[in-house]
Amino acid sequence: MGIRFDSVTVRYGDNTVLDSLDLTVEPGEVMALLGPSGSGKTTALRAVAGFVTPAAGRVLIGGRDVTALPPHRRGIGMVVQQYALFPHLRVEQNVAFGLKARKVPRARIAERVSEALRMTGMERYARRYPRELSGGQQQRVAIARALAIRPGVLLLDEPLSALDAQLRSGMLAELARLHRELPDVSILYVTHDQIEALTLADRIAVMDKARLQDCGTPQDLYRRPRTEFTASFVGNANLLPVTVIGDAVRFGGTELKVPVDGIAPGAAATLCVRPHLVGLGEGPNALRGTVAEVQWRGATHRVFVDIDGHQIKADVRELRTPPALGQQVAVHFATQDAVLLGAGVADG
Ligand SMILES: Nc1ncnc2c1ncn2[C@@H]1O[C@H](COP(=O)(O)OP(=O)(O)OP(=O)(O)O)[C@@H](O)[C@H]1O
Ligand SMILES: [Mg+2]
């Protein structure tokens, strides 16, 4: 079942924490809500779940206006950051909870519980109490509990943020598998982790300051960001203030060949180039400066180069002889690897 936010506004007092959100999650789609702390992600989720009432706008699930429906009648499953299992109930009772509340017949409850535990790989733990489980196992139970009611819509609020990095990556793969098993369920996945968003989502909605800033496929947002915020939040970005001159731009005294895409000559713009697309040494679109910092990252080196008061990061394959601090170097990038953002302010 799809989800639609139709100009949804949420206020606490006179503080607008969600500002006219328009967003559609297609049936079976995984939509990540990505944004910094306080940007309104959880609030958006809670509006779908029915735990907050919009000051304006409508929420639709499966085409039906649910804005006035109580949470338990919306057919959603929800998983929050801190597992929130009932400590005095066994795993199977936790998973059965929503079914009992919905007065599902007993025999069917047993069936659904074992199905949900199977899907999350937790059958063997049915008789345990939450305190007898690891964090990752508890989060699986929370997911099983959300799935047991066979929701049309699954809301996940930073479900992996309490787990360590290794477990997180394993659970990420499991969520992807789970979604393949449930291809009709729409998933709204809140995260501030861009790797989770890039890995799992069909599309990413980027939020900042109560507003939707951008929305697109991961590849789209990464390769063709439309705003500086998206460019720096989805992946790493070098952002340089430039001035458009015909079919090129000027950065300080250097002319750079980049796709100008109809931005008027004389306009200030921001040039975005991903660090892994910046090469060290001379080449087309070369800029010269001094090495400010070199970080060894195992498979790569990240070299920071100061150029006219700006800094460019180049992520290059591990160097045999990394440049010395203060050394004069050139960096360069290919024309097709640059993206010009229109709304920037040039200062040079
Ligand atoms: N019950 C509440 N009463 C008043 N203000 C609230 C309430 N819940 C959230 N807020 C405010 O609304 C804003 C958005 O909060 P929200 O929880 O949606 O952010 P978020 O994007 O989920 O952030 P995080 O990544 O930290 O979880 C914040 O400024 C927060 O302080
Ligand atoms: Mg939140």
pLDDT at 344: 42
Q: Torsion angle, CA of 162/32/47/226, rounded to 10 degrees?
A: 130
d(CA 7, CA 9): 6
| CA 264 – ligand 2 centroid, Å | 40
Q: Is 233 helix (H, G, I), strand (E, B) or coil?
A: helix
Distance, CA 118 to ligand 1 centroid (Å)? Answer: 34
Give the residue whose CA is nearest to atom 4 of ligand 1. Answer: 12
Taking the centre of ligand 2 as the mean of its atom positions, its distance from the CA of residue 89, in whole angstroms, is 26
Alpha carbon distance 162, 77 (integer Å): 19
DSSP 8-class letter at 117:
H
Atom of ligand 1 nearest to the CA of 10: 12
Name the residue at shortest CA distance from atom 25 of ligand 1: 37
Three-class DSSP category at 329: strand
What pLDDT score was predicted for residue 276?
A: 95
Ligand 1 centroid – CA 277 distance (Å): 36
Counting other chains too, the contacts that 225-233 makes at CB distance below 8 Å and 24 or more residues apart are 225/272, 225/339, 225/341, 226/341, 227/341, 227/343, 228/270, 228/272, 228/341, 228/343, 228/344, 230/206, 231/272, 231/339, 231/341, 233/34, 233/35, 233/36, 233/194, 233/206, 233/208
Can you give the pLDDT at residue 195?
Answer: 87
Report the DSSP pairing between strands 76-79 and 30-34. Answer: unpaired
Is 46 touching ligand 1 by the criterion CB < 6 Å? no
Q: Reduced to 3 states, what is the DSSP secondary structure of residue 345?
A: coil
Q: Round to whole Å and give the CA distance between 110 and 302.
A: 54
Both tokens assigned to 217: 């496929």
Question: What is the enclosing helix (H) or strand (E) of 47?
Answer: helix 41-49
CA distance 49 to 46: 5
Q: Which atom of ligand 1 is nearest to the CA of 192?
A: 25
Residue among 88, 91, 77 nearest 147 (CA): 77
| 94 Cβ neighbours under 8 A, 6+ residues apart | 85, 86, 130, 141, 145
pTM comes to 0.86
224 CA to centre of ligand 1 in angstroms? 29
Return the residue whose CA atom lies nearest to atom 29 of ligand 1: 38
User: φ, ψ for residue 151 (rounded to 5)?
Assistant: -70, 150
Per-residue burial over 100-118, b if 16 or more Cβ lie within 10 Å, else e, is eeeebeeeebeebbbbbbe
Q: What distance in angstroms lies between residue 106's CA and the mean position of ligand 2's atoms?
A: 35
Q: What is the pLDDT of residue 83?
A: 65
Say how many Å lie between the first and final Cα of the chain, rounded.
51
pLDDT of residue 346: 36
Q: Which atom of ligand 1 is nearest to the CA of 46?
A: 18
Give the closest ligand to the alpha carbon of residue 19.
1
- How far is Cα 239 from Cα 78, in angstroms, rounded to an integer? 38
Q: Is residue 40 lining ligand 1, measured as CB closer than 6 Å?
A: yes
Kindly state if the Cβ of 39 falls inside 6 Å of ligand 1: yes
Q: Where are the alpha helices (DSSP H) in 51-190?
A: 91-101, 106-119, 135-148, 165-181
Q: What is the pLDDT along the chain (348 residues), one digit of tens a residue?
A: 899 999 999 999 999 999 999 999 999 999 999 999 999 999 999 999 999 999 999 999 999 999 999 998 898 888 887 768 999 999 999 999 989 988 899 999 999 999 999 988 899 999 999 999 988 889 889 989 988 988 889 999 998 887 788 778 888 888 888 888 888 899 999 998 888 899 899 999 999 999 999 999 999 999 989 899 999 889 899 999 999 998 899 999 899 999 998 788 899 999 999 999 999 999 999 999 999 999 999 999 999 999 999 999 999 999 999 999 999 999 999 999 999 997 543 333
Pocket test for ligand 1, best of 15, 16, 17 (most atoms within 8 A of CB): 17
pLDDT of residue 342: 79
Q: Count the Cβ atoms, other than its own, within 10 Å of residue 33.
A: 29
CA–centroid distance, 35 to ligand 2, in Å, is 9
**How many angstroms separate the CA atoms of 74 and 65, rounded?**
10
Alpha helices in 128-255 (DSSP H): 135-148, 165-181, 194-200, 218-223, 228-233
The atom number, within ligand 1, closest to the CA of 43 reads: 18
Measured from the alpha carbon of residue 44, the closest ligand is 1
Residue-level pLDDT at 345: 39
Instruction: Mark residue 20 as left, alpha or beta (left: phi above 0; alpha: psi -120 to 50; beta: remaining).
Output: left
With the C-alpha atoms ordered 86, 89, 90, 92, is the resulting torsion angle positive or negative? negative
Choose the residue to mutate in 10, 11, 12 for probing ligand 1, maximizing ligand atoms within 8 Å of C-beta.
12
- Contact predicate 198/218, CB 8 Å: yes
* DSSP letter (8 states) at residue 344: -
Q: How far, in Å, from the CA of 322 to the mean position of ligand 1? A: 44
pLDDT at site 42: 94
The residue contributing the CA closest to ligand 1 atom 18 is 40
Q: What's the confidence (pLDDT) of residue 208? A: 95
From the CB of 41, is ligand 1 less than 6 Å away? Answer: yes
**Neighbouring-strand partners of residue 312:** 305
143: closest CA among 165, 118, 167? 118
